[in-house]
Structure 1
Amino acid sequence: MSRMIFSINQCSPVELRLLKALRALNWEGSWPAQAGFFLEEMGLSSSQAFVFADLVTAIIEADPGFYLLGPTSPFVSRDELNLLAALGNASRKSSNRLGQVTRSRVPVVKSLIDSCGTALRAGQISMKTRASLHNGRTLPSVASQVLPFQDDRTLRNVTVVSVHKPTPRVRRIVLGGHSLKTFVTDLAAQWVKIFLPGGTTQPVGRAFTIYSFDAINSQLTFDIALHDGGPMSDWALTAKPGDGLQLAGPRGGFKGVTPRSWLLMAADETGLPAVAAIVRLLPADLEVHVFAEVADESERQFLDTQPNVRVRWIYRNGTSSQEPETLSEVLRYSPLPATGGDAWIAAEASAIRSIRTQLLRDRGFELGRVQAAGYWKHGEQDHRDLAAG
């Protein structure tokens, strides 16, 4: 009886929003990419969103039978009501555990509940007071240790094989090494975290999309979009064959499209390697509309596309005959198919929020078919977005 369901009307508006995010984290397709936006709309930060992602993963690992319904279900399960009760109780506790749970330590469900409660309290999110349902499934015990996310966290030693310059502000780095002989990437647009050698200090690490992986020669290629003052940009300007690095991953990736659909892709320089990786693997008969924003015409890159892929280049600094434009502005007025499609978007975080809202509100895209990730954020180093996977 622990899987018994009730009307969703039992939940408060705040609980409904939180529950939708928790369900999305455990769902399929592009739904997990929406969870971070749901939590952010409640007032939580992008870093706090990862604690809720860890909690959902921890619960399912510790108890695979825990019953989370679909994101749009009109019902709520006993298990979900018990989870909401635990989070509400934790949000009213006087503790300061947020930040103590790190991905380098195997988490326990209770400590993650406490951390989520602290995040809710910090965001001034008032949860409903409710009692646990005693004849429902209880949360995994305090002592239940669970596995971390099931991705490859092994640090691999690699060296630079070659450095290329596809545009003035992009460096394409090819890495090789014995450690890549066991490297596997099974989705387009997966990313790895690259670590610069740090000597006795903590190494600097940044996430980069895999442009391509040559399994036969064990070589991985990624792009660095140069910008002033960044440690990876500074390194890329002087990088040479033989330089040593470490990498971890892969993570994330493009989840595919709905059958008989069409695909919208939009990206700035940081997302272009993912666009290139995705379009190389798309079916030849799929209708694809690509919008690519770069600084100017000198930053335009070659994309190996199929005949049904239409590419629109957007120059934010303008040209001699064209005013400056942005990704969001051009998308707002560009003609697209009238029927609902799938969307994949990667750019600066605030631009992503604007485009996502535009697609859902004005273009009629379905929520679960929009995969949008902020690959970077103005004024923030090493930005992490839950939607990137």
Structure 2
Amino acid sequence: MSRQIFSISQCTRIEMRLLKALRALKWKDNWPAQAGFFLEEIGLESSQTFVFSSLIDAVIKADPEFYLLGPVSPFVSRDELNLLAALGNASRKAINSTEGQDITIPPVVGTLVDECGAELRKARVLMKTRSPLMNSRTVPGITSQVVSFQDDRTLRNVKVVSVHRPTPGVRRVILGGHSLKTFQTDLPAQWVKIFLPDGTAHPVGRAFTIQHFDAVKKELTFDITLHERGPMSRWALNAKPGNALQLAGPRGGFKGVSPRSWLLLAADETGLPAIASIVRQLPADLVVHIFAEIADETERPFLEVQPRVHIRWIYRNGSPTQDPETLSEVLRYSPLPATGGDAWIAAEASVIRTIRTHLLRERGFELGRVHAAGYWKRGEQDHCDLAAG
């Protein structure tokens, strides 16, 4: 087993950022949430995080002793250099060329290395070409069986128990069914994926935060923010008790705050159910600042706020006493505690990038204490952000 390490200064800037992303994907606490941002820094999109996550998962399964250091380590291991070598070769490989392909690479690992290389080429990110360090374990030398990475996608059959209208722009759906007898949630802000059965092999599915799960009645509540052309919005407008659905999960969740910290929560309508579930389980003495962007004042009942929480309502469409505002603009110019705290943010993907950069560069937040997830992306259906968990 090799434990030889080298100074990370021998890596290029692109390699350093990619390496941080690969390490973050298998690290603890909030680090997985940062991987997408590290990849974006070298020109990749957050949606491309999944193929890199699958690669790391496959490598670890193939070789559990693969030496992956921490995200902020000033060193790089021999194993990591070999992985960078494989990615560098793949990023420069002609699309239809098999030249230089090592036939000893297990199929799953080889396929994922090539897919990651294709994503790097697509973004015009060329990695350094380097030779694998053959006198130690190498990625091409892995020979153990590899099982491809799969999420838990067990589908539960459920039915609508009731539908409510807490605000004009929201439908609150309560689900029940025998399959929920084994359903469990252990963290606030966990989410499930809801599928509309349509008789096909690939039904329409969208992710929604669990607003509440009644462990006694075995009933799950989630909120749908109505959008003009979304399939779930169209369904919600006509939903009735007895309608059949399927769901998978739960996943993700809010893992708490650091000792002696304070908490910043910021979201648009898509993240408010998560904020509501987080606030319900916070310590009574914790200082909490919420920034909530909604269409107008009619949507305020969507979020029930406790008196001890400081909240700033932001109206996209304005109000009789307030001009139209946006989440990122208000947060940038609002006073916050001087000491760095913890942050949980969920909104449109580009808004999240702006806020995250502001918190890290101008507000003194530490990287591992900012959880920022793009719950949706303008112009894209069923956007998936690995940071959501």
TM-score past 0.5 threshold: yes
**Residue identity in the other structure for 2:281:** L
Aligned to 2:260: 260
Superposed, which structure 2 residues align to 1:16-27 within 5 Å?
16-27=16-27
CA distance in 2, matches of 1:384, 1:15: 25
Render the CA deviation track for 1:209-251: whole Å, top value 9, x for unaligned: 1111112211111110001011100000000100000111111
Deviation at 1:144, TM superposition (A): 2.7
Superposed, which structure 2 residues align to 1:224-235 within 5 Å?
224-235=224-235
Matched residue of 1:64: which SS?
coil
Aligned to 2:101: none
Superposed, which structure 2 residues align to 1:312-323 within 5 Å?
312-323=312-323
Superposed, which structure 2 residues align to 1:233-312 within 5 Å?
233-301=233-301, 303-312=303-312
CA distance in 2, matches of 1:231, 1:30: 32
Deviation at 1:136, TM superposition (A): 2.4
Aligned to 1:387: 387
Answer yes or no: is the 8 Å Cα contact 2:63–2:142 preserved in 1. no
**Residue identity in the other structure for 2:43:** G
Deviation at 1:82, TM superposition (A): 0.7
Identity of aligned residues (%): 74
C-alpha distance 381-176 of structure 1, shift in aligned 2 (>3 A): same
CA distance in 2, matches of 1:375, 1:170: 16
* TM-score normalised per structure 2: 0.94
* TM-score normalised per structure 1: 0.94
CA distance in 2, matches of 1:66, 1:348: 36
Pair 1:87 & 2:90 matched:
no
Most deviating of 59-68 and 259-268: 59-68
Matched residue of 2:381: which SS?
coil
CA distance in 1, matches of 2:340, 2:107: 40
Deviation at 1:306, TM superposition (A): 4.7
Render the CA deviation track for 1:285-340: whole Å, top value 9, x for unaligned: 11110110000000112544455321111111111121111111110111110000
CA distance in 1, matches of 2:375, 2:142: 36
Deviation at 1:108, TM superposition (A): 1.6
What's the Cα RMSD here?
Answer: 1.8
CA distance in 1, matches of 2:54, 2:275: 28
CA distance in 2, matches of 1:169, 1:128: 50
Render the CA deviation track for 1:118-146: whole Å, top value 9, x for unaligned: 11111111111111112322227367322
C-alpha distance 272-107 of structure 1, shift in aligned 2 (>3 A): farther
Superposed, which structure 2 residues align to 1:180-199 within 5 Å?
180-199=180-199
CA distance in 1, matches of 2:161, 2:138: 53
Matched residue of 1:249: which SS?
strand
CA distance in 1, matches of 2:137, 2:243: 53
CA distance in 2, matches of 1:277, 1:159: 23
Aligned to 2:108: 108
Pair 1:325 & 2:325 matched:
yes
Pair 1:31 & 2:39 matched:
no
Deviation at 1:185, TM superposition (A): 1.6
CA distance in 2, matches of 1:226, 1:200: 25
Answer yes or no: is the 8 Å Cα contact 2:108–2:147 preserved in 1. yes
**Residue identity in the other structure for 1:176:** G
C-alpha distance 231-126 of structure 1, shift in aligned 2 (>3 A): same
Deviation at 1:63, TM superposition (A): 2.1
CA distance in 1, matches of 2:234, 2:81: 50
Deviation at 1:29, TM superposition (A): 1.4
Answer yes or no: is the 8 Å Cα contact 1:265–1:343 preserved in 2. yes
In the alignment, structure 1 segments of 5+ residues that lack a partner are: 98-105
Aligned to 1:171: 171
Render the CA deviation track for 1:152-197: whole Å, top value 9, x for unaligned: 3101100000101110000010011111111122211111111101
Render the CA deviation track for 1:26-50: whole Å, top value 9, x for unaligned: 1111111011011122111233221
Answer yes or no: is the 8 Å Cα contact 1:25–1:31 preserved in 2. yes
Aligned to 1:121: 121
CA distance in 1, matches of 2:370, 2:143: 36
Answer yes or no: is the 8 Å Cα contact 2:360–2:367 preserved in 1. yes
Most deviating of 293-302 and 334-343: 293-302
Answer yes or no: is the 8 Å Cα contact 1:110–1:141 preserved in 2. no
Answer yes or no: is the 8 Å Cα contact 2:167–2:302 preserved in 1. no
Deviation at 1:95, TM superposition (A): 3.3
Answer yes or no: is the 8 Å Cα contact 1:271–1:375 preserved in 2. yes
Answer yes or no: is the 8 Å Cα contact 2:158–2:246 preserved in 1. yes
CA distance in 2, matches of 1:334, 1:96: 53
CA distance in 1, matches of 2:386, 2:133: 31
Answer yes or no: is the 8 Å Cα contact 2:269–2:294 preserved in 1. yes
Render the CA deviation track for 1:98-128: whole Å, top value 9, x for unaligned: xxxxxxxx98222111110111111111111
CA distance in 2, matches of 1:369, 1:352: 15
Aligned length: 380
In the TM superposition, structure 1's runs of 4+ consecutive aligned residues that sit over 3 Å from their partners are: 140-143, 302-308
Pair 1:55 & 2:55 matched:
yes
